[in-house]
């Protein structure tokens, strides 16, 4: 491993840093960041914040940063892996989402189409993903199919030139903002469960779709229940073959894993926690002077650094042409659990003030730590819960027998 960057890479970083600093300040105002620790996810707040995020995306695209990792032939930046890593470090250090308003499209749905879509699908959908004109969401989970995704029951039958979809999805992030969705449906209920699934591209304005936002414990509505009542989806919107959707969904999950759960702005959160510790009392003294608090902060900083180094290790493996290993599960597990522990420790520091909601009189830093604590649990569930990541590491890395 060599952690040094070349002069060109450092120049790339400096230019990017300056751009993000200026642009985020222009778009989001003082401090530049989006606010909650969920910025890396999809829960981006109210209508005003959503408009600002779309505006930021437009600028991101104009500057050529919207999809650095996409090949140039698809309108991306064709960046090297190192440049991509620098991009991620910089964006996360500002607490901003990696791909503007179109996280899922640019991170995984677009790459899935590049890999498995028809030429017509690539031509039709990829350009507007890049510009942010069409925002995408991912309809996988159902009330009885989360960790065990292949148990999904939303049905689609072929009728002439269309699939007719009936059923329900749940926890669909951004469905209420999205223009399009990738949807997993069961097209052969008789086949073994992994073999009767198809992968569709669905226009969210199609008649028969009802979206009901779910209010989370943060008070925000980042995800939704989505109901399908005889929704007609043109056959040309099928990706891959009928009943072969599991393979397509695995490609999407592969890109999701490649993107890695390490993409949480946890280092930034720890820096903010350090600042907080200078301004609150703990056990009769300023918190940052207390040995217990110092020990905790140091431990968090060490773990965050380990996470970064682990990401670099995975990058080095990539650069040497090795197939991605278990780092993505490790990274997802470790980053989201660390993020949760950091948020809970902030609450410990705040004591009874941690109960004050955002907007409450006396809420410390506008109640953002309380929001983070409430949101942090969700990150340990989304994209495969911690228990599932433990299973993957146990079975595929440690070669333990299946539980
Ligand atoms: C913030 C957030 C955003 C999300 N966004 C989306 C989205 O955009 N699109 C989408 O389709 N879904 C989305 N999800 C849903 C997410 O993928 C599921 O919540 C997740 O896969 C877990 O499924 P479940 O909620 O049905 O829980 P279940 O699978 O029912 O699990 C319940 C509990 O049992 C544990 N468990 C389950 N199976 C095992 C096992 N084999 N071994 C050990 N423990 C097990 C789980 O870890 C969990 O603690 C989102 C979730 C969150 C929290």
Would you identify the CATH topology of the domain 136-245? Butyryl-CoA Dehydrogenase, subunit A; domain 2 (2.40.110)
Q: Whose CA is nearest to atom 20 of ligand 1?
A: 146
**Ligand 1 center from residue 146 Cα (angstroms):** 5
Q: Which of 102, 103, 115, 104 is nearest to 74 (CA)?
A: 115
Count the alpha carbons within 13 Å of 402 in the hemisphere toward its beta carbon.
0
Compute the distance between CA of residue 175 and CA of residue 128 in angstroms, rounded to an integer: 17
| Contact criterion met (CB below 8 Å) for 229 and 210 | yes
pLDDT at 230: 98
Q: Whose CA is nearest to atom 27 of ligand 1?
A: 146
**Ligand 1 center from residue 250 Cα (angstroms):** 16
Kindly tell me if the per-residue pLDDT of 2 is higher than 90.
Answer: no
| Substitution candidate for ligand 1 out of 37, 147, 182, 214 with most atoms within 8 A of CB | 147
Kindly tell me if the per-residue pLDDT of 322 is higher than 80.
Answer: no
Question: Which of 83, 142, 220, 256 is an active site residue?
Answer: 256
Task: Name the strand (E) or helix (H) holding 138.
Answer: strand 136-139
Residue located via tokens 């650069």: 319
Q: Whose CA is nearest to atom 2 of ligand 1?
A: 382
Q: Whose CA is nearest to atom 35 of ligand 1?
A: 387
User: How many C-beta atoms surround the C-beta of residue 252 within 10 A?
Assistant: 24
| Contact criterion met (CB below 8 Å) for 359 and 367 | yes
User: How many C-beta atoms surround the C-beta of residue 403 within 10 A?
Assistant: 8
Kindly tell me if the per-residue pLDDT of 82 is higher than 60.
Answer: yes
pLDDT at 40: 40
| Substitution candidate for ligand 1 out of 136, 153, 171, 383 with most atoms within 8 A of CB | 171
Q: Phi and psi of 256, rounded to 5°?
A: -60, -45
pLDDT tens column, 7-29: 999 999 999 999 999 999 999 88
Q: Phi and psi of 349, rounded to 5°?
A: -65, -40
Compute the distance between CA of residue 206 and CA of residue 193 in angstroms, rounded to an integer: 27
Q: Percent of the chain scored above 70 by pLDDT?
A: 92
Residue located via tokens 């209420």: 176
256 is catalytic: yes
Compute the distance between CA of residue 1 and CA of residue 75 in angstroms, rounded to an integer: 32
Question: Residue 63: helix, strand or coil by DSSP?
Answer: coil
Kindly tell me if the per-residue pLDDT of 260 is higher than 60.
Answer: no
pLDDT at 1: 58
| Substitution candidate for ligand 1 out of 139, 146, 215 with most atoms within 8 A of CB | 146
Contacts of 334 (CB under 8 A, 6+ apart): 261, 262, 303, 306, 307, 310
Question: What is the mean pLDDT of the segment spanning 205-209?
Answer: 98
pLDDT at 58: 97
Question: What is the mean pLDDT of the segment spanning 72-88?
Answer: 92
Provide residues with CB under 6 Å of ligand 1.
Answer: 41, 137-141, 146-147, 171-173, 223, 378, 381-382, 384-385, 387-388, 391
pLDDT at 265: 80
Compute the distance between CA of residue 259 and CA of residue 141 in angstroms, rounded to an integer: 20
pLDDT at 314: 76
pTM of the model: 0.93
Q: Which two tokens stand for residue 195?
A: 């073999």
pLDDT at 262: 52
**Ligand 1 center from residue 385 Cα (angstroms):** 6
197-203 and 180-186 strand pairing? antiparallel
- Distance set, CA 65 to CA 27, 175, 332, 403 (Å): 16, 25, 24, 43
Would you identify the CATH topology of the domain 260-397? Butyryl-CoA Dehydrogenase, subunit A; domain 3 (1.20.140)
Largest CA distance in the chain: 74
Q: Whose CA is nearest to atom 37 of ligand 1?
A: 147
pLDDT at 317: 74
| Contact criterion met (CB below 8 Å) for 180 and 201 | yes
pLDDT tens column, 25-55: 999 886 655 544 344 444 567 888 899 999 9
Q: Whose CA is nearest to atom 25 of ligand 1?
A: 146
Kindly tell me if the per-residue pLDDT of 137 is higher than 90.
Answer: yes
Compute the distance between CA of residue 207 and CA of residue 218 in angstroms, rounded to an integer: 31
pLDDT at 359: 82
**Ligand 1 center from residue 143 Cα (angstroms):** 10
In the chain, which segments carry CATH 2.40.110.10? Answer: 136-245
Kindly tell me if the per-residue pLDDT of 150 is higher than 60.
Answer: yes
**Ligand 1 center from residue 108 Cα (angstroms):** 19
In the chain, which segments carry CATH 1.20.140.10? Answer: 260-397
pLDDT band at 324 (very low <50, low <70, confident <90, very high): low
**Ligand 1 center from residue 141 Cα (angstroms):** 8
Atom number in ligand 1 closest to CA 377: 53
Task: Tell me the average pLDDT of the chain.
Answer: 90
The torsion of the CA quartet 366, 39, 85, 94, rounded to 10 degrees, works out to -30
Atom number in ligand 1 closest to CA 140: 11
Question: What is the mean pLDDT of the segment spanning 137-160?
Answer: 97
Question: What is the mean pLDDT of the segment spanning 83-99?
Answer: 89
Residue located via tokens 């493996």: 317
């Amino acid at each position: 491993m060599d952690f040094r960057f070349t002069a060109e890479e450092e120049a790339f970083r400096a230019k990017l840093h300056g751009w993000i600093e200026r642009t985020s300040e222009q778009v989001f105002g003082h401090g530049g960041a989006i606010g909650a620790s969920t910025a890396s996810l999809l829960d981006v707040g109210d209508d005003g914040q959503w408009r600002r995020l779309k505006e930021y995306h437009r600028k991101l695209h104009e500057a050529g940063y919207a999809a650095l990792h996409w090949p140039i032939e698809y309108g991306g930046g064709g960046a090297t892996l190192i440049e991509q890593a620098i991009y991620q470090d910089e964006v996360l250090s500002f607490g901003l989402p990696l791909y503007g308003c179109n996280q899922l499209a640019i991170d995984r749905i677009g790459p899935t189409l590049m890999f498995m879509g028809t030429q017509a699908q690539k031509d039709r959908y990829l350009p507007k993903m890049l510009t942010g004109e069409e925002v995408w969401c991912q309809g996988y989970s159902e009330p009885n199919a989360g960790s065990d995704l292949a148990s999904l029951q939303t049905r689609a039958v072929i009728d002439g030139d269309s699939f007719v979809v009936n059923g329900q999805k749940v926890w669909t992030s951004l469905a209420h903002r999205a223009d399009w969705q990738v949807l997993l449906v069961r097209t052969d209920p008789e086949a073994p469960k992994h073999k009767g699934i198809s992968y569709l591209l669905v226009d969210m304005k199609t008649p028969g779709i009802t979206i009901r936002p779910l209010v989370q414990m943060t008070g925000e509505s980042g995800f939704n229940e989505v109901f399908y009542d005889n929704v007609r989806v043109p056959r040309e919107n099928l990706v891959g073959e009928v009943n072969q959707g599991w393979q397509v969904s695995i490609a999407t999950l592969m890109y999701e894993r490649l993107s890695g759960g390490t993409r949480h702005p946890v280092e930034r959160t720890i820096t903010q926690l350090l600042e907080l510790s200078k301004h609150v009392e703990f056990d009769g003294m300023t918190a940052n002077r207390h040995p217990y608090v110092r020990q905790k902060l140091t431990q968090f900083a060490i773990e965050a650094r380990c996470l970064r180094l682990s990401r670099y290790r995975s990058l080095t493996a990539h650069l040497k042409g090795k197939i991605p290993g278990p780092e993505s599960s490790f990274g997802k597990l470790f980053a989201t659990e660390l993020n949760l522990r950091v948020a809970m420790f902030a609450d410990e520091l705040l004591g009874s003030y941690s109960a004050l909601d955002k907007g409450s009189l006396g809420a410390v830093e506008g109640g953002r730590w309380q929001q983070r604590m409430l949101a942090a649990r969700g990150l340990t569930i989304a994209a495969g819960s911690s228990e599932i990541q433990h299973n993957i590491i146990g079975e595929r890395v440690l070669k333990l027998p299946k539980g």
